[in-house]
Chains A and B, each alone.
Chain A
Amino acid sequence: DAGVIQSPRHEVTEMGQEVTLRCKPISGHNSLFWYRQTMMRGLELLIYFNNNVPIDDSGMPEDRFSAKMPNASFSTLKIQPSEPRDSAVYFCASSLNRANEQFFGPGTRLTVL
């Protein structure tokens, strides 16, 4: 069975540009999580969805960040406009239900110049 799929794997963009990261959770999983990892702050939860509904977005750093989950098999994390301090690795994870084990995708390495 395929794991969590993320795209793109690498993204290099210039400050001010819009960035869209994509995630396909494991089939049958009903919870989806977006994380950001940096050396300074470690792994931080940005937002999570349960049954396609956003449950907790308290980790979203600013209004420049938004996330959607239009259906059970797809989610996006958008940054508009992007800034150099947004450079990080962004992970998507999914779980069978929100209290269960989470499985991570390969991540998207974002560099904002």
Chain B
Amino acid sequence: QKEVEQNSGPLSVPEGAIASLNCTYSDRGSQSFFWYRQYSGKSPELIMSIYSNGDKEDGRFTAQLNKASQYVSLLIRDSQPSDSATYLCAVNLSGNTGKLIFGQGTTLQVKP
């Protein structure tokens, strides 16, 4: 089992819809969770961090964390074509060592 798993996609949604991106992780002691967006040929860009169970909202983005189920998700409301990118889930291993494990990423396509 991979330490951090994401569906590679592509996930295709129409403009204006809600995009839902999911991630599961294996280290039950993980405390810090991050979502990065990466455009083709560019570097990963941090868009959300979440540390506690529940929802965290920032503009059109909502991160959801369920530590009991070892599951973290990212919702993008009112999806725009400019949101088309690969979204990487990253998990900080137990002990907050600083060692981030990244999922393979989910490619999102928002169609006008």
| Shortest Cβ distance from A32 into B: residue | B98
A105 within 8 A of B: yes
Q: In the docked arrangement, what's the CA distance between A101 and B49, Å?
A: 7
Which of B42, B97, B100 touches A102 (beta carbons < 8 Å)? B100
Task: For A44, list chain B residues within 8 Å (CB).
Answer: 102
- Using A99-B92, A101-B34 as known contacts, say yes or no to A106 and B102 having CB atoms under 8 A apart: no
Give the interface size class of chain A: 20 to 34
**Known contacts A101-B34, A101-B46, A107-B43; A42/B98 CB under 8 A:** no
Q: Interface 1/0s, chain B 32-45, versus A by CB < 8 A?
A: 10101000001111
Q: How large is the interface on B (under 10, 10 to 19, 20 to 34, 35 or more residues)?
A: 20 to 34
Which residues on the B side are within 8 Å of A34 (C-beta)?
Answer: none
The verdict on A75 contacting chain B, using a C-beta distance below 8 Å, is no
Complex CA–CA separation, A88 to B46 (angstroms) = 21
- A50 contact set on B, CB distance < 8 A: 98
User: Do B43 and A91 touch across chains, with their CB atoms under 8 A apart?
Assistant: yes
**Chain A 30-72: CB-based contact to B (< 8 A → 1; otherwise 0):** 0101000000001111001010000110000000000000000
Tell me if A82 counts as interface (CB < 8 A to partner B): no
Residue of A nearest to B98 (CB): A98
The answer to whether A45 touches B45, judged by C-beta atoms less than 8 angstroms apart, is: no
C-alpha gap A106/B39 in the complex (Å) = 12
Chain A residues in 8 Å Cβ range of B44 = 43, 91, 104
B104 within 8 A of A: yes
Within B18-57, the residues touching A (CB, 8 Å) are 31-32, 34, 36, 42-46, 49
Instruction: Please tell me if B12 contacts chain A, counting CB pairs below 8 Å.
Output: no
Give residues in A with beta carbon < 8 Å to B: 31, 33, 42-45, 48, 50, 55-56, 91, 95, 97-99, 101-107
Interface, chain B (partner A; CB < 8 A): 31-32, 34, 36, 42-46, 49, 88, 92, 96-105
A-B contact pairs, 24 of them (CB 8 A): A33-B98, A33-B100, A42-B102, A43-B102, A44-B102, A45-B99, A45-B100, A45-B101, A55-B97, A55-B98, A56-B97, A56-B99, A95-B98, A97-B98, A98-B97, A98-B98, A99-B31, A99-B96, A99-B97, A99-B98, A103-B46, A104-B43, A104-B44, A106-B42
